[in-house]
């Protein structure tokens, strides 16, 4: 198993759509960036790339490349999924936190989860998204920007066998991860 973490931040400005998790959220400002500046999707992509030791989004989608100007981050996430597939990694789970004073994220979180799960080809119960404010503190608390943290867990497909059209985790000897130190191995 491999763990990755990601972080992204973008400044809030007038004249841009606010897009988070592939959802356009009605708000007076949007996030400034080369692509659609989707902080949630960017943090998730960085966590996935980091867990797979494949660099970061700046390496794969540089802001100096006009190809990515204004592009949907869900399109970029699809490319990250392809990179994971090429390296035989499976997403076990993702947990992300959006940090924004305004607007409220709760009404949009379920759709964000659905968007991310659909693009990555994972189940809805493999992705958790939550939001918090910073109680008026710092740049996010002052409404100057929005940030996001994400962590993920990947498993190598080499750890699985394909049996009757589904993946089966290989049997381990002993208890947890092959350890012989407790009675869990008999359960």
Contact 134, 141 (CB under 8 A): yes
- Write the CB contacts of 71 (distance below 8 Å, at least 6 apart in sequence): 35, 36
CA 63, CA 47: separation in Å to the nearest integer? 19
Give one word for 53, left, alpha or beta, with left for phi > 0 and alpha for psi -120 to 50. left
By the 10 Å C-beta count (0-12 exposed, 13-18 middle, 19+ buried), 15 is classed as: exposed
How far from the centroid of its chain's Cα atoms is residue 141's Cα? 23
Binding residues for a divalent metal cation: 8, 10, 42
Closest CA to 99 of 138, 137, 146: 146
68 near 102, Cβ under 8 Å? no
Cite the annotated binding site by residue number.
8-10, 34-35, 42, 56-58, 61-65, 100-106, 132-135, 139
Can you tell me whether residue 72 is helix, strand or coil?
coil
């Amino acid at each position: 198993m491999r763990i990755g973490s990601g972080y992204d931040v973008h400044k809030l400005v007038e004249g841009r759509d606010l897009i988070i998790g592939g959802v356009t959220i009605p708000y007076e400002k949007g996030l400034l960036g080369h692509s659609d500046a989707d902080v949630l999707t960017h943090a998730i992509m960085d966590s996935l790339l980091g867990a797979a030791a494949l660099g970061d989004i700046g390496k794969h989608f540089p802001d100096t490349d006009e190809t990515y100007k204004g592009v949907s981050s869900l399109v970029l996430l699809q490319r990250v999924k392809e990179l994971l597939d090429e390296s035989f990694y499976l997403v076990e789970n993702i947990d992300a936190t959006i940090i924004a004073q305004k607007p409220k994220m709760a009404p949009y979180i379920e759709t964000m989860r659905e968007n991310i799960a659909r693009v990555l080809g994972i189940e809805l119960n493999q992705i958790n998204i939550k939001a918090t404010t910073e109680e008026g503190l710092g740049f996010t608390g002052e409404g100057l920007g929005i940030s996001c943290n994400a962590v993920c867990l990947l498993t190598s497909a080499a750890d699985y066998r394909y049996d009757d059209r589904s993946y089966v985790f290989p049997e381990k000897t002993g208890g947890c991860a092959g350890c012989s130190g407790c009675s869990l191995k008999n359960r």
